[in-house]
Structure 1
Amino acid sequence: MTIKRILPAITLGAAMILSGCVTTPAVNVSSRNAGLDLGPVIDVPTQNWDFARLVVLVPENLEVSEANSIKPRADIVWREDPVGDRHAQVQAVMQAALEPTLAPMQGATPVTVQIEVTRFHALTERARYTIGGEHEIEFTVTVAHAETGQILSGPREVDLTFRAYGGQQAVDAEAQGITQRVRITQRLQQWVHTEFSQTLVGALGS
């Protein structure tokens, strides 16, 4: 994603940062597209960060496909919820995976972590039960001071693409409760533990 695409999203939502701590939100168009009102960049070591809130943005201009082809040409492909608002469903998946993993972060500087999804491409039924493929989970991450809005890190592109199960391997995994949602959640949580390792280690060890 280019900076030109990032800037509109991160200038939309002064209201979000003024709203206080956010737990898993009621999913609607405004919450999906309201970003942070971010100020100038400053440099604060990650070990000083204290998690205050998570903002997950899934822009409405991301294209959704319901085609049951091997690899639809779209930004969002998701099948493990009933047919409906896929933008809202993707936001819920990301929020549920990331928020509890970020929660133990403790330090001196309260921060808002903003995630803007740029691609969320799980497998169609046809791909999952034949050749498999990849889970393409891509987003930008920005960390800002929760009170002043100053950017502490980012915006930075993150690509967590990884191999998805297919065929009998997918069938066997599902029999054990290992769905696409489970594997994507685990991948996101692994990223948090790597990205924020200094702060999380301090919090979990205290």
Structure 2
Amino acid sequence: MSARDEILGRVRSALADAPELPTARVPLRRPDRLTDLVELFCDRVADYRAEVERCPPEELDARLRAVIPDGARVVVPEGLGLDVAGSAVVDRALSAAALDRLDAVVTRARLGIAETGTIVLDHGPGQGRRAITLVPDHHVCIVEASQVVADVPDAFAVLDTTRPLTWVSGPSATSDIELDRVEGVHGPRHLHVIVVT
């Protein structure tokens, strides 16, 4: 008998007389209506310290101009189809160094997950390649209300998992050993989500 088997045997015999504890089940909030999904999505995105707002389609261009500071250097993916203020450059394989000199990126999302406040990009038209969403310090992401799904299983039912996927839950952040939060280490320090309703 190995030492591992001996230890596991002792654990099993010690637990043999222990009463079985009930499993706590926390019901997931599964909103029935799209407005409830969008509300939950916005709440969860805000919980991650991201900025989130809603606007009707006819106000989207104006909201983008208000979110991007004057004089900011912005990169956009091909196929975005929006009027982004200033001297926005279309990404055509910009180098990492060139992306690092830019202040912000504006993209669309493939979908949003209400339960987790997560944005998923599959890097199709209007979303661009992964590098443009990770290098600039400010990511402005547009999510259509119709793209918001309830939870992760619903997301997988929609997503093509053969495509590269980037899952974004708030601004990039990590904590050191003393639990001091540091933002912007692995991606954008600022995330601004505009939900088009």
Bin of the TM-score, shorter chain as denominator length: under 0.3
When normalised by structure 1's length, the TM-score is 0.23
Q: Normalization by structure 2: what TM-score? A: 0.24
Larger Cα-atom Rg: 2
